[in-house]
Amino acid sequence: MAEAQSSDHPPRLLVVDDEAAIRRLLLTVLESSGFVVHEAENGRLGLAAAAVVRPDLILLDLGLPDLDGVEVIRRLREWSSTPIIVLSVREREDDKVAALDAGADDYLTKPFGVPELLARIRASLRRVVGQAPEPLFRNGELTVDLARRLVLVAGEEVQLTPTEYEILRLLVTHAGKVLTHRQLLSQVWGVSHLEQPHVLRVNISNLRRKIERDPSRPSLLLTESGVGYRLKAEL
């Protein structure tokens, strides 16, 4: 298994899940990958543990016995910017959107693959370092130089409209994280456009034609069906 990123201390993870079997599985997997793991079996204990432990990342189930996971996310976001990855059996799109809009950074549906979980954890932890995006993003043939507002595909400069560039900039800044339709619409066009998802779809389609090798089968700018979009991070 991949090792956790090096730092002054091994990254501390908080697992909030009412299923003891899931907590045991995550404890085994995460500790063998170099993380320090703390546990909580319900939402109130999870909130208390987050305040005491100050974890580097939280893995949170939505179906908790005392507080709904979305409410836990809202309360955490009142005082903490710690990355939150939701692990839940809920597959409905509106559940995913509610969690992400409340402030979750990512969402994995149970059952999940261990390699994917570790990759999502690493990507979330990397985004936290310094709280500022790297000025240069690379993945495959795509290079985005934020400092120079320059986009290259296979070494050739690509001309984007201001709107296309702003969408790409947001996705680069949050590479690996799902941005919901609502988040993108509000940040690019403003809250007056929240009910106009077609505007976003058109611009995403145009952006894919310019940065993807095969726009009909995108490998970089990924769709999270019914939820939003994710720019694949270099892992």
Residue 3 has pLDDT above 50, yes or no: no
Query: Which comes out higher in pLDDT, residue 30 or 90?
Result: 30
| Residue 84 binned pLDDT confidence (cut-offs 50, 70, 90) | very high
In the predicted model, what is the mean pLDDT of residues 190-217? Answer: 90
Mean pLDDT of 203-209: 96
Q: What is the pLDDT of residue 8?
A: 62
* φ/ψ (deg, to 5) at 86: -85, 130
When the pLDDT of each residue in the chain is averaged and rounded to a whole number, the result is 89
Q: How far is CA 38 from the centre of its chain?
A: 21
Weakest mean pLDDT among 86-100, 151-165, 185-199: 185-199
pLDDT score of 5: 46
Q: What is the pLDDT of residue 50?
A: 94
Question: Which one is predicted more confidently, 106 or 233?
Answer: 106
Region 83-109: what's the mean pLDDT? 91
Q: What is the assigned CATH class of domain 136-231?
A: mainly alpha
- DSSP class of residue 234 equals P
Q: Is the pLDDT of residue 52 over 80?
A: yes
How far apart are the C-alpha atoms of 33 and 118, rounded to whole Å? Answer: 8
Q: What is the mean pLDDT of residues 10-34?
A: 95
Residue 81 pLDDT more than 70? yes
CATH of domain 12-131: 3.40.50.2300
pTM: 0.73
Residue in 66, 53, 61 with CA at minimum distance from that of residue 14: 53
- Distance, CA of 82 to CA of 72 (rounded, Å): 13
Please count the other Cβ atoms lying within 10 Å of the Cβ belonging to residue 190.
Answer: 9
How far apart CA 49 and CA 53 sit, in angstroms, is 6
Q: At residue 48, what is the residue type?
A: A
Instruction: Give the integer Cα–Cα distance in Å for 230 and 220.
Output: 8
Count CB-CB contacts under 10 A for residue 66. Answer: 13
Q: What is the pLDDT of residue 134?
A: 61
State residue 2's pLDDT score: 39
Assess whether the region 12-131 and the region 136-231 belong to the same CATH fold: no
- Residue 152 clears pLDDT 80, i.e. is over it: yes
Nearest to 15 by CA among 74, 34, 35, 105: 35
Q: Where are the domains of the chain?
A: 12-131, 136-231
Q: Which structure tokens are listed for 8?
A: 């002054």
